[in-house]
C-alpha cells in the first residue's frame, strides 16, 4: 500500500553531513533550503562531523535568513560517517529522512520528485541518480575509464543496495527494524551499503527515481589517476566486507568470502589482460577501464580475505 493510499502526509527532514568543507557547505545550503521551503513541514538538518563545531557559524548564518526551525545544526564529534549518519537518524524526528552530500547540488524539484516516488511505490526508500560535474579539467584517462559514471535505471526499478548520497528513507520502518549504520565501516566507507543491504534483507524495497537527480561537484584534486585508482580499490574492498558482514551465520559468511574472493580474482585477471592490451595497442580507454576493473577486483579480493582499507581515516 502506498503512502498516498494510506492517506498519509509524511513529515520529512533533509540531512546533509559535513566535515571541514565550509566552501561546499556554504554553496550547498541555499539550494537545499530552497528545496525544503517548498515542501510543507519539511526541514533541513546539518550534521557536523568535525571534532570541533567548525560548521556551526556557517549554518547559523544560513538559518538566520530563514523562518525559525527550518534549518537545524547538530555537532557529532565521534569520527566517521557512520556516526554522523546515525546522528541524523536520531535527530530527524520525522517520518522520512533524505540524505544528500554537502558537495552535491539538487536539481529542480528534486525533493518533490523523491516524495512523489515514495507516495507512488510501496517501498522503504527511494534512490536517485548522482551525476558528476567537474571543477576544472579532467584527465582524459579518467574520462576514458568512466570512473565517475554511475549506473542508472528506469524509474520504479527495485535496487538491492544504495549509497546515501541521494537517498530517501522511511524512518518508521527503520525504527521498527532497529537498523543503524555500523561503526565498523565508519572510516572505511561501506556503512551505507551494509545499512541498505540489511533493509533489503528485512523485506524493505528500495525503488529508483531517475528524475530526482543531484549533481556531485568533483574538485580538481579528485580528477587524478591516483585518486580514482584508490577509490576503485576501496569500493571493491568495502563491497566484499559488506557482503560478508551481512551474511547470516558463519557458514554463510564463509560462502560470501569464497564467492567475493572468486569474483575479485576474476576481475583482477580480466582487468590486467585488458589494461595490458590497451597499453600495447595504445588504446587509452581499454587501458583505463582495464585498470579500473583490476583495482576493483583487487579490492574485492582483499576485502574477502579480511583486509580493511581505511579511506576516511583521520590524522590524530
SS3 label, residue 301: helix
Q: Which residues contact 37 (CB under 8 A, 6 or more apart)?
A: 66, 70
113 and 175 share one domain: yes
Whether 2 has a pLDDT exceeding 60, the answer reads no
273 and 206 share one domain: no
160 and 287 share one domain: no
Whether 305 has a pLDDT exceeding 90, the answer reads yes
196 and 81 share one domain: yes
What does the pLDDT look like over 220-230, one tens digit per residue? 888 889 999 99
- CB contact at 8 A, 214 and 128: yes
Residue ranges making up the domain that contains 198: 3-222
- The residue out of 189, 205, 222 marking a domain boundary is 222
- Taking alpha carbons only, the member of 173, 72, 188, 166 closest to residue 124 is 173
Which position has the higher pLDDT, 267 or 310?
A: 267
233 and 106 share one domain: no
Handedness of CA 149, 153, 155, 159 (dihedral sign): negative
Q: Which residues contact 36 (CB under 8 A, 6 or more apart)?
A: 12, 14, 42, 43, 44, 70, 111
215 and 247 share one domain: no
Question: For residue 6, what pLDDT is reported?
Answer: 45
Question: For residue 222, what pLDDT is reported?
Answer: 87
Average pLDDT for residues 56-61, to the nearest whole number? 94
Whether 12 has a pLDDT exceeding 90, the answer reads yes
d(CA 39, CA 113): 11
Question: For residue 316, what pLDDT is reported?
Answer: 54
If one counts the domains in the chain, the total is 2
Question: For residue 280, what pLDDT is reported?
Answer: 95
- Taking alpha carbons only, the member of 282, 277, 198 closest to residue 243 is 198
- CB contact at 8 A, 80 and 192: no
Task: Enumerate the β-bridge partners of residue 170.
Answer: 96
What does the pLDDT look like over 249-292, one tens digit per residue? 999 999 999 999 999 999 999 999 999 999 999 999 999 999 99
The per-residue pLDDT of the chain, averaged, comes to 93
159 and 173 share one domain: yes
What does the pLDDT look like over 104-135, one tens digit per residue? 999 999 999 999 999 999 999 999 999 999 98
Q: What is the CATH number of the domain that holds 181?
A: 3.90.550.10
94 and 230 share one domain: no
203 and 90 share one domain: yes
d(CA 187, CA 191): 9
Question: For residue 1, what pLDDT is reported?
Answer: 40
134 and 239 share one domain: no
Question: For residue 244, what pLDDT is reported?
Answer: 95
Whether 8 has a pLDDT exceeding 80, the answer reads no
88 and 148 share one domain: yes
Report field, pTM of the whole predicted structure over 0.85 = yes
On whether residue 288 sits in a domain, the answer given is: yes
Amino acid at each position: 500500500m502506498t503512502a498516498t493510499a494510506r492517506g498519509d502526509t509524511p513529515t520529512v527532514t533533509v540531512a546533509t553531513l559535513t566535515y571541514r568543507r565550509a566552501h561546499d557547505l556554504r554553496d550547498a545550503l541555499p539550494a537545499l533550503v530552497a528545496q525544503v521551503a517548498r515542501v510543507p513541514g519539511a526541514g533541513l538538518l546539518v550534521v557536523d562531523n568535525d571534532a570541533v563545531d567548525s560548521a556551526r557559524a556557517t549554518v547559523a548564518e544560513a538559518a538566520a535568513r530563514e523562518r525559525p526551525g527550518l534549518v537545524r545544526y547538530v555537532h557529532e564529534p565521534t569520527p566517521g560517517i557512520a556516526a554522523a549518519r546515525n546522528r541524523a537518524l536520531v535527530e530527524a524526528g520525522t517520518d522520512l529522512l533524505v540524505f544528500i552530500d554537502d558537495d552535491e547540488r539538487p536539481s529542480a524539484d528534486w525533493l518533490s520528485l523523491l516524495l512523489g516516488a515514495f507516495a507512488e511505490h510501496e517501498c522503504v526508500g527511494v534512490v536517485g541518480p548522482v551525476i558528476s560535474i567537474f571543477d576544472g579539467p579532467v584527465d582524459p584517462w579518467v574520462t576514458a575509464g568512466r570512473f565517475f559514471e554511475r549506473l542508472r535505471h528506469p524509474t520504479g526499478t527495485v535496487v538491492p543496495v544504495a549509497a546515501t548520497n541521494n537517498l530517501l528513507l522511511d524512518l518508521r520502518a527503520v525504527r521498527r527494524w532497529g537498523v543503524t549504520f555500523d561503526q565498523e565501516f565508519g572510516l572505511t566507507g561501506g556503512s551505507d551499503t551494509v545499512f541498505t543491504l540489511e533493509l533489503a534483507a528485512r523485506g524493505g524495497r528500495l525503488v529508483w527515481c531517475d528524475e530526482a537527480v543531484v549533481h556531485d561537484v568533483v574538485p580538481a584534486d579528485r580528477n587524478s589517476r591516483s585518486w580514482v585508482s584508490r577509490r576503485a580499490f576501496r569500493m571493491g574492498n568495502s563491497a566484499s566486507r559488506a557482503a560478508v558482514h551481512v551474511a547470516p551465520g558463519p557458514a554463510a559468511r564463509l560462502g560470501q568470502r569464497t564467492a567475493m574472493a572468486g569474483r575479485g580474482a576474476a576481475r583482477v585477471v580480466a582487468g590486467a589482460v585488458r589494461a595490458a592490451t590497451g597499453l600495447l595497442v595504445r588504446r587509452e580507454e581499454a587501458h583505463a577501464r582495464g585498470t579500473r576493473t583490476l583495482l576493483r577486483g583487487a579490492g574485492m579480493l582483499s576485502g574477502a580475505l579480511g583486509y580493511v582499507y581505511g579511506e576516511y581515516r583521520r590524522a590524530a
